Structure 1
């Protein structure tokens, strides 16, 4: 490393960003849309010979120029990113990488969580991280037939409640997983609270935080996958692989998903789950969306109502528990965030 320097790359530095993108492109990688720290290893002429990034507690977009491979630069790069993560207080780290690169991270002390053969491997830096998560879940296991739903609930709507009620008609216990990532306009703490309050009268419903193992499509890393279809398939197949382990820990025999007729992403996701889960003995059932007139009830429509202050529309779309929250003073910061967001129809 005597001839090289590691430097932070700032989003405002268009020249360095262009050099990073050029290296990534040469190595068959596209810069991920979700990054909050980027660095570059540069030579004495300030040419970028390696680069890597972070987002939350993940390492992303790592590449070394083909002309400089074999010089130990990837080790230096990953070591720097891990140190930066520790400085930021992120001790539990995750990596999504190509299958061909997995051994490198295993040799660095990462441990495999799950993989999609031929596409990607999901790893973490704790040898017992996923096992501890599964062990904690197993303590909530109940006798009888168990099923599950996974939801972002951004926020909790009458449609979410309908999905839960429909699923509960087929099981004794329904495990409801709320995506923990704070990548939504409604913070996770509020989303989970509204799900808990909205299900409080259903003793068979057990609400869980998804933790770091079930992630949203909004932040799924896409930098080493070639196109949008591959990204969507990869996310769904990885989610299925992780969920099968969760299902085993909880004795879950069926997962229910909501139909999303207008979303190609969700259509792909549901199709893959319906293909993959039965191979592990878990049925996958798609539930038609609850509609208001001819329009399916969606969280996007709830956010639109909040954005324009239409309380009548809001009341028609959400349970009383959600309505009470959003008409309270406590919700003011969240509503302001939604109003400032512009387009609120996204995930």
Structure 2
């Protein structure tokens, strides 16, 4: 009887136990955030190979070592690519172990970055990352530059304080606003509020982060809770990719806000302090702007909106952000924030 390739239900406890055992056997940490998993089972319904998806990424790929060399991984990846095509995802990213990277290159994936002996990050577009960097390079200016990366969910006076500190110290600041749709405030709104809030700073250039900076592909655990070890690995990957972007814009400094409340951001900041100097980039951690003795944060703004305290956010946000939330245009966004169960970034 031939092998059978099927979707594995989260409720199938027997299959889930086999998945965990196979991944552990192959030294792979099972991702806590997956939205599709398949398994290739033999005639006795023993798991021979598996792979999973999350968003437009393919991950958690493994083949039983007793069945390696039979082309099983090719079957699994082909199936997952079909699943992604049905979802409308054509630009795909893939994580694998370094020793498996060459195999995926033969399947039409191209390496973007790797984290030591832990992880290789690939995409299925030959010039995807290269074209992204080339487009950014059109905005390069003379002299050393600094970078700021932010979600700005929404843009606060704390964000503005960070950008102004960088703008005062450098000829050019490249400000990357996360493109990911991962909250009640749409990316188009977040980006517009950032651009309006920094419009008085002539040396600040705003960019969309795209899929290569703190995205669901490079850093999914920024958006979804995961184990600290996974957060560290994702953060390291994100910074490796950023280290390839920075020279295209002559970025030598990256500014970040001090973090005391968000666990994932604090872990990410720690990785930046350790890793960025190795990539030729100095990391400058700026103390948070405070209001009434408390750090100004987007989480606080969202919580106050959620709790019906919209009128109190004025001291925490630029006038441009306040004008938006006080306008009729913001009503659907305010309703979406109030409908959230949890508005605090973990």
Tell me what 1:193 maps to. Answer: 192
TM-score by length of 2: 0.90
| Contact 2:152 2:194 (C-alpha < 8 Å) held by counterparts | yes
Matched, 1:64 2:58: no
| 1:144-293 pair list within 5 angstroms | 144-216=143-215, 220=219, 228-293=227-292
Secondary structure of the residue aligned to 1:169 is: helix
Distance 1:184 1:248 in 2: 31
CA distances 1:307-333 after superposition (whole Å, capped 9, x unpaired) = 111023222221122222223333233
Distance 1:12 1:340 in 2: 29
Tell me what 2:33 maps to. Answer: 34
Secondary structure of the residue aligned to 2:121 is: strand
| Contact 1:32 1:221 (C-alpha < 8 Å) held by counterparts | no
| Contact 1:34 1:219 (C-alpha < 8 Å) held by counterparts | no
| Residue segments in structure 2 that go unaligned for 5+ positions in a row | none
Matched, 1:101 2:114: no
| Contact 1:183 1:218 (C-alpha < 8 Å) held by counterparts | no
Query: Which sits farther off after the overlay, 188-197 or 284-293?
Result: 188-197
Judged with a 3 Å threshold, the aligned counterparts in structure 2 of structure 1 residues 218 and 57 are, in CA distance, closer, same or farther, namely closer
Tell me what 1:73 maps to. Answer: 72
Judged with a 3 Å threshold, the aligned counterparts in structure 2 of structure 1 residues 33 and 339 are, in CA distance, closer, same or farther, namely farther
Tell me what 1:304 maps to. Answer: 303
Distance 1:22 1:193 in 2: 47
CA distances 1:130-156 after superposition (whole Å, capped 9, x unpaired) = 111110000011224421101111111
Tell me what 2:293 maps to. Answer: 294
| Residue segments in structure 1 that go unaligned for 5+ positions in a row | none
Judged with a 3 Å threshold, the aligned counterparts in structure 2 of structure 1 residues 334 and 43 are, in CA distance, closer, same or farther, namely farther
Tell me what 1:322 maps to. Answer: 321
Distance 2:29 2:338 in 1: 32
Distance 1:292 1:218 in 2: 35
1:80 shift after superposition: 0.9
Distance 2:48 2:220 in 1: 22
Distance 2:218 2:117 in 1: 21
